[in-house]
Structure 1
Amino acid sequence: MTTTSIPIPKLMDSRIRSSKANWLLVSHGNRNMFFFNPISNDIIELPDLQEEYENICVWTFSCPPDSSSSACFVVGFDYLGNPPDVCIIKVGETNWKFHNLNNPADRYKCFFLTGCNSPIFFKNNIVYVLGDKGNLGILTINENSIPSWKFYGKSFLRRRLNSIQYVYTAEDVDNEGMLAVFLSHHEGKVEVWRYKMNGEVLEREKITSLDNKTMFVSSVGSCLKTCIAPGLENKIYFSMFHNNKGVFYCLVNRKYYSFDYLRIKAYSSPNIFNLVRPTSCIWIESEND
């Protein structure tokens, strides 16, 4: 484990809101938003949000803001909205657009966000958002018109919902869907569910294997990667620590291990009782990886 100090005054008291590739969406308070690249130290400013938008606290963005191949959209969601109100800007524009998308006639009358703060932005300008009952909201962004919500899936049983403490989501590129990792309140039991749309039907299933993939998860951005070395498959790397050592979960053995797991006295446990979870922690994914 290494510690790096980056002497950039603008980062003082800032908060990471979302991450993609090697870019972070960062804020001061709830209104001042900007992008930061921790590799190049580049900063891209965004217009300040208006005061009435301060309830917007769940964020994502479509692609690196310096991308030359496509426009970068930044999207924020009102945590308390039902369904969530949406705030959108395209990088380069000077004003945010706020949309109240509540439709009383919608047959899905109850969709709130979960404690998961990392919606998944797909390439075709749709965003997967996990609801607080395990259902799925899909926001379609139309550049020249109002965005629109659609909602899919039945609620999980109350007993399952009551056991969930943390939720992490990542794009599942090969299956054209999303993976959701659920951690239970006490022991930290791990469940992985795949969400995939088949036409207008949500296919939602619990899975026990990532095949030849590895997951890296945090509350502001997660990714699913193909293994580059034997022994990395079916493992979920969390933003948690034991004695300053990073921790991963093995889906095969159903245990947590520290990164030095090959040592004789390395940490292993079926629960998270002795683990530390930082307030803010991210994985940085290079565009070339």
Structure 2
Amino acid sequence: MRLTLVDYLHMRTTCTMFRSVSPPVDWKKKALEGLELPPLSQWLIFFEKDGVCSLVDPRHGDKYLISLPPSLSNCGIYYSKNGWLLMSGNTNSTFLFNPFTRKIVPFPKDDIPYRFFTSNMGFSCYPTSSDCLVVVFGQKFYEKVNLSYTRLGGQGWTDVDFVFCENSPVFYQGAFYCLGRGGNLGVLQFTAGEVTWRVLPKPTRPCCSYHQNFLVECNGELLSVFVGEFGKGVRIFKLNHFPMAWIEVESLGHYMIHISRSSSLAAMATAPGMENKIYFPRFCGQSGHSIVFYSLDTKKFHSFESGDADEDFYSTRAQLCSCWIEPTWC
């Protein structure tokens, strides 16, 4: 029972004898009973067809399927945090969903504004908490962008003018931080019932040559990740609050980062060899679902299937409309 779920499943499929001494385990029931389960790596989650979502383990390249409730058909994933997905469908339905427990938390009656122009969304904590805050970066018209927010169980949405940001927000130290195209930061602060929005004059853009940028919290620090054009290198910076500036990070130590447009997550590596790497929602290899990562040790792209061989980042296959999720049965 000290094995992770993935390793336990692998052990049971090794041979008849192993299967006979390792009975099937109801992992959801054990989590609800309060038993501590071994940590799992973040998995890439996406929908392949109606009623089914796929989960890919970045270390082993294994793919798992989860059937979805009928009400979730034709829905899109906009954000992921603490094992929950923020989803929205074609029938003006928006909700939070845990694919492991199959629990659904609906939004307030007033639906998300600017639904068909929505850029990004985010939420602050477990949606089972009354303190859960939800934010939406929605483009009402082609030039004006609004930021809307609500509290689950509250009375609807409130707007704040916003400067466009193209990646998912991060709830950090009681506020939502957003990384703009120019590498600057916007902060949505909730204090004593008041809401303030600021675009910080500093830090300024830490590098010039990049194609995409991402924001992620790692071990209590706020990190920005900049991906060069045509996959030519990846640079990581840590926010230094005094003075307010980006400081380049050369190593993540035992941590790993999983980035995507909908969600970027960081965690301690759960298996040897996964540390000090940045994982992308891109596939390569003969299996078709070996995940591509950037190694801060070699400064190159690889996959576990290809070993030490380099991967050409833009010859790999991007998995659109996907995000990373932290498996949890709690």
Q: TM-score range by the shorter chain?
A: 0.7 to 0.9
SS in 1 for 2:252: coil
Aligned to 2:301: 256
Separation in structure 2 between the aligned mates of residue 12 and residue 188 of structure 1, nearest angstrom: 38
Aligned to 2:262: 220
Give the alignment partner of residue 46 of structure 1, picking from 107, 121, 134: 107
Using the size of structure 1 for normalisation, the TM-score is 0.80
Give the alignment partner of residue 276 of structure 1, picking from 309, 312, 317: 317
1:77 maps to 2:127: no
Higher relative contact order (CA 8 A, sep 6+): 2
Give the alignment partner of residue 125 of structure 2, picking from 50, 55, 63: 63
**Structure 1 stretch displaced more, 236-245 or 15-24:** 236-245
Separation in structure 2 between the aligned mates of residue 32 and residue 179 of structure 1, nearest angstrom: 33
Aligned to 1:121: 171
> What per-residue deviation string (whole Å, max 9, x for no partner) do you get for residues 210-254 of structure 1?
122111222211222123444332111111100321121111111
Separation in structure 1 between the aligned mates of residue 81 and residue 169 of structure 2, nearest angstrom: 11
Retained in 1: the 8 A contact 2:136–2:148?
A: yes
1:260 partner letter: E
Q: CA deviation at 1:5?
A: 4.2
Q: CA deviation at 1:151?
A: 1.5
2:231 partner letter: E
> What per-residue deviation string (whole Å, max 9, x for no partner) do you get for residues 241-270 of structure 1?
0032112111111121122244xxx7523x
Aligned to 1:92: 153
Give the alignment partner of residue 236 of structure 2, picking from 192, 195, 210: 192
Using the size of structure 2 for normalisation, the TM-score is 0.71
Retained in 1: the 8 A contact 2:95–2:105?
A: yes
Retained in 1: the 8 A contact 2:224–2:236?
A: yes
1:76 partner letter: V
Structure number having the greater helix percentage? 2
1:136 partner letter: L
Retained in 2: the 8 A contact 1:58–1:79?
A: no
Retained in 2: the 8 A contact 1:167–1:182?
A: yes
Retained in 2: the 8 A contact 1:141–1:148?
A: no
Q: CA RMSD in A?
A: 2.9
Separation in structure 1 between the aligned mates of residue 68 and residue 169 of structure 2, nearest angstrom: 30
Q: CA deviation at 1:43?
A: 0.8
Give ranges in structure 2 of 5+ residues lacking alignment: 1-61
Identity value in percent: 26
Q: CA deviation at 1:178?
A: 1.4
Separation in structure 1 between the aligned mates of residue 111 and residue 321 of structure 2, nearest angstrom: 22
> Which structure 1 residue ranges, 4+ long, deviate > 6 Å from structure 2?
80-83
> Alpha carbons of 1:12 and 1:267: their partners in 2 closer, same or farther (altered >3 Å)?
farther
Q: CA deviation at 1:120?
A: 0.5
